[in-house]
């Protein structure tokens, strides 16, 4: 399935410029993951030439294989901690733009193996940025790098208002802390190496909310855990039913990343900074609200119970202030959470019916691009 001409034209309304992306060489680290797979599919639909660098898909089943992305992406299965391999792939790909998504993305896994989280999320970022620095020294035309971190990189004060990009970084669990460190590493490379004519790379970080969407089978994530529990007819074990999170469909932040990449490449250093891409206030729901909302849409009986006590520490309240992205990029959330949950249910049903999931994903991207903002 290719985007119809009307769909490409409607991208102009969202300020994604198909002419900008057509023929662009793009490197995506973490391309076999949930978010990376959606990004690669969207980039390919826009006409970009995509190279991926990542470990193998982290779950079975997984979106990467179900969408047959190996047919669309020049894929390199390797560890972000292997600097020599990463540097070789990056220099051979000679990308115009780089999206860095390779990470250990789970809070609870970071408690089980903090060394893995710090090595991957901090030194993986160092490896990527150093590979970019050396490639530009050799004349490779890299224009922009976007490092995808996390909304959890902030020093969480359990505030009722959203965190802004200028608020202090922190993190009380290894995952959140490692992402705050990755932000600091990025800022250092930007100021020490990527300013001036010698290294004209524009470098930004992006912080999204809790993304949901079809094709996520990760453990210890609410939506995948809920889907598994209902299919198995077992109670869903949840840790903090009253915890507040900034839920959003995965296409929302990806839309922001694409807009930002265009600005970084075309207009340069004034956009080389940190950016939030979070949902509207009315879509900041509790865990319990999301569970009930999805079950109502799915029509399946579901139950939940509290998991045992003494759970690892996690933030109880977390919101993002995305005012800067709205004002300077023209980015706006397009799907409210009710619509996002509907899209998840549609995708899961298509999976159960053994439909062509690449086509389903492309149709959802098309719906997202063509549709107006839903209040």
Cα atoms in the 13 Å half-sphere on the side-chain side of 323: 7
3-state secondary structure of 245: strand
- β-strands 274-277, 144-148: how paired? unpaired
SS3 15: coil
How far is Cα 81 from Cα 318, in angstroms, rounded to an integer?
30
Q: Which residues are catalytic?
A: 175
Cα–Cα–Cα angle for 59, 65, 71, rounded to 5 degrees? 150
Cα 2 to Cα 38, 45, 46, 228: the distances in Å are 15, 6, 9, 32
* HSE-CB for 168 with a 13 A CA cutoff: 6
Q: Is 280 exposed, middle or buried (0-12, 13-18, 19+ CB in 10 A)?
A: middle
Using the 8-state DSSP alphabet, how is residue 96 labeled? S
Helix, strand, coil tally for the chain in percent (to 5): 50, 15, 35
| Whether 286 contacts 243, CB under 8 Å | yes
Angle CA(371)–CA(374)–CA(375) in degrees, nearest 5? 165
Closest listed residue to residue 331, CA positions, set 245, 262, 252: 252
* H or E, element range at 68: none
Look at residues 49, 38, 59 and name the one whose alpha carbon lies nearest to residue 360: 38
Provide the greatest CA pair distance for the chain: 61
Q: Is 176 exposed, middle or buried (0-12, 13-18, 19+ CB in 10 A)?
A: buried
Dihedral Cα 206, 212, 215, 217, nearest 10 deg:
100
- Sign of the C-alpha dihedral computed for residues 163, 34, 368 and 96 taken in this order: positive
Look up tokens 């992306």; give the residue: 21
């Amino acid at each position: 399935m290719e985007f119809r001409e009307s769909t490409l034209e409607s991208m102009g309304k969202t300020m994604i410029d198909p002419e900008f992306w057509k023929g662009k060489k793009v490197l995506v680290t973490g391309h076999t993951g949930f978010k990376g797979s959606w990004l690669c599919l969207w980039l390919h639909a826009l006409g970009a030439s995509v190279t991926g660098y990542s470990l193998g898909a982290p779950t079975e089943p997984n979106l990467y294989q179900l969408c047959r992305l190996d047919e669309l992406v020049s894929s390199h299965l390797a560890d972000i901690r292997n600097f020599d391999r990463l540097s070789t792939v990056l220099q051979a790909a000679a990308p115009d733009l780089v999206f860095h998504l390779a990470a250990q993305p789970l809070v609870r896994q970071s408690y089980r193996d903090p060394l893995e989280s710090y090595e991957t999320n901090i030194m993986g970022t160092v490896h990527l940025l150093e590979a970019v620095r050396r490639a530009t020294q050799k004349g490779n035309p890299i224009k922009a790098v976007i490092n995808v971190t996390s909304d959890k990189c902030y020093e969480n004060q359990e505030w009722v208002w959203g965190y802004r990009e200028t608020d202090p970084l922190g993190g009380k669990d290894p995952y959140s802390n490692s992402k705050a460190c990755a932000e600091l590493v990025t800022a250092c490379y930007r100021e020490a190496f990527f300013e001036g004519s010698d290294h004209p790379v524009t470098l930004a970080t992006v912080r999204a909310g809790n993304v949901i969407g079809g094709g996520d089978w990760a453990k210890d994530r609410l939506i995948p855990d809920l889907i598994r529990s209902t299919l198995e007819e077992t109670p869903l074990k949840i840790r903090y039913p009253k915890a507040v999170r900034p839920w959003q469909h995965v296409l929302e932040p990806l839309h922001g990343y694409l807009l930002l990449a265009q600005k970084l490449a075309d207009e340069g250093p004034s956009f080389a900074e940190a950016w939030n891409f979070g949902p509207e206030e009315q879509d900041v729901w509790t865990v319990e609200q999301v569970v009930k909302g999805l079950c109502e849409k799915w029509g399946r009986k579901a139950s939940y119970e509290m998991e045992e006590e003494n759970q690892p520490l996690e933030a109880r309240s977390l919101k993002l202030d995305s005012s800067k992205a709205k004002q300077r990029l023209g980015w706006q959330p397009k799907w409210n959470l009710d619509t996002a949950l509907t899209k998840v249910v549609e995708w899961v049903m298509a999976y159960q019916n053994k439909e062509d999931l690449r086509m389903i994903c492309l149709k959802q991207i098309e719906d997202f691009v063509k549709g107006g903002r839903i209040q």
